[in-house]
Chains A and B, each alone.
Chain A
Amino acid sequence: MSSGSYIKRPNRPLQFYAILFLIVLYVPVLFLPLFSFNDSIYVRFPLTGFTFQWYIELLDRDQVWASLMNSIKVGVTTSIIATSFGVLAAKAITRYRIPGRGPVVGFIMLPLVVPGIIFGVALLVLISRLGIPLSLYTVTVGHIIVCLPFAIATMIPRFEGFNKSVEEASADLGENAWWTFWRVTFPMMFPGILASLLLTFTVSFDEFIMAFFLSGTDATLPMYIWGQLRFPQAFPSILALASVILLVSFILVFLGQWINRGAQSDSIESNTKT
């Protein structure tokens, strides 16, 4: 690209549109924290006063703590399993020429596209036919399926970003596949793995549809919120809870994307070059 080309010229209306777009994208979500500090049971303008009351109220609710622990348990298990399966799958997809690669990748990525309700009811039907009681375990299985495409999509650019010949050098120098993985692949993949852990944890932590169909008596945090939406008097404290969840999710996702940023820009560059 030659410098000083017309493409480089800033386009004011477009810049204005982009800023507006980001505002519209974020503002609705930001109303949740705004009203969570408002000293009124009603969610409406004008704001009446500043309070921490709703947050303090949250701390006293045992159910909030219980569902938080459930969500963490499910999220940690899901992220570890989805990421470890995802590393292997991403390696297979990027490193080897496999027959039927297109359909296989398409199949793995299905949960990203197919409406969640269909996966939810299909799994529910299987689980109930097998006579397995609904529990946090069944939610975890659902979440692993939802999270695997995210894990794989996060790690594929990492694998594309580093040179295959380093692994081959290790193999040529006499390391077996196991040690090559631990001493060469894993350290180079580490940012991708960390990003995948953070992102899949967040997806699981926030996931609602699978939890809706597959959870038993133990609720995850989003399920708890869903249950509370029926009670108007619970509204402000739900706003507070939602704000906390949003904040945690934003931080985790931002960290994940930040850790993995090198890989994505590398692969974008290598894609544009070829």
Chain B
Amino acid sequence: MSVEPAIAASSSLAPLPKTGRFSMMLQRYEALRAYTLLSPTLLIMALGILIPFGILIVMSFWTQAGFGFDLTPTIANYEQAADRPIYGALLKRSLWMSSAATIATVLLCYPMAYFVAFHVHRNKMMWIVLMTLPFWTSYLLRVFAWKVVLGYEGVINSALMSLGLVNAPLEVLLYSQTAVIITLAHAWAAFAILPMYVSLEKIDKSLLEAATDLGDGPVMRFLRITLPLSLPGVIAATLLIFIPTTGDYITPALLGGPDGMMIGNLIQKQFGAINNWPMGATLAIILMLLIATISLGFMFVTNFVRRRIS
């Protein structure tokens, strides 16, 4: 690694075959060359993320007036969001449901990541592909599949009934918070496995052998070496699932019923049936700020704990 800068320097000193100020500058300055290569990506990301966010923030200070917008800046939407209990309740419920899904996913996926990192020696790649393959396929269809499984006359209920275990379909399965949490945990499993696998894979195996030689049993070895060293992966997995699931609206729309509605559904309705875009923009901004605050707090706390441990 340390030789590379030297080589790079020598190659930039090589005689320049082309003239022209820009190509000369390109040859000379690594950063400029890098940013030139990055420019198409950064441009479209700026167009597609930064500018829209800017407008979204501006719009959150407008108000809906009939079919148009009243452009005078006001914080009326934010006041309304704070006053009306429905918004707070939905936000709280979204956070609780996605926390539950996140914890379930991380707990269920950790052993899997551990298994592939430590106990699979041949065809590791095959296992990783197998575990992540469903993640690449349509999110909508995976949610749809759970609707088929959990439905009132779906797979589980009809199977239970034809086996004679229950007389009437269980109603708790579909259109409940549980259904949404199960589906979210299932849908985001790959996101949890990958970062945890990477951090488990990086653990120096000789540390484990040292612990064994010094008399630690399997449990202590896991608690004192494996778990602390894999914490970065666990933290990454937690954030990678918590952040996107909080704003999900497809799963609650298909499986949640009235009890399982989340804030994403309300945001979507503001841009659809309710047709109050500024309110929708306000809710989106509030959601983002909330997610950002919680994630930063979580990272701060876990960093603090990690430093205390080591």
Interface residues of A (CB under 8 A from B): 1-2, 5-8, 10-11, 14-15, 17-18, 21-22, 24-26, 28-29, 31-32, 35, 42-46, 84-86, 88-89, 91-93, 95-99, 104, 107-108, 110-119, 121-126, 129, 141-142, 144-145, 148, 152, 164-165, 168, 171-172, 174, 176-177, 199, 202-203, 206-209, 212-213, 222, 225-226, 229, 238-239, 242, 245-246, 249-250, 253-254, 257-258, 261, 264-265, 268, 271-272, 274
Contact = CB atoms under 8 A, between A and B. Distances in A.
A117 B247 contact: yes
Interface string B24-52: 00100011011111101110110011011
A265 B53 contact: no
B136 A21 contact: no
Contacts of B134: 25-26, 29
Contacts of B159: 45
Interface stretch (B78-86, B106-114, B227-235, B302-310): B106-114
B96 interface: no
Interface of B: prevailing SS: helix
Contacts of B254: 229
Contact of B144 (A32, A176, A250): A32
Interface of A: prevailing SS: helix
Interface in B91-139: 108, 111-112, 114-116, 118-119, 121, 124-125, 128-134, 136-139
A92 B35 contact: yes
B196 interface: no
Given A144-B44, A164-B4, A174-B17, A89 B250 contact: no
Contact of B124 (A7, A238, A265): A265
Contacts, number: 276
Contact of B281 (A1, A125, A245): A125
Nearest to A87: B37
Nearest to B212: A6
A85 B40 contact: yes
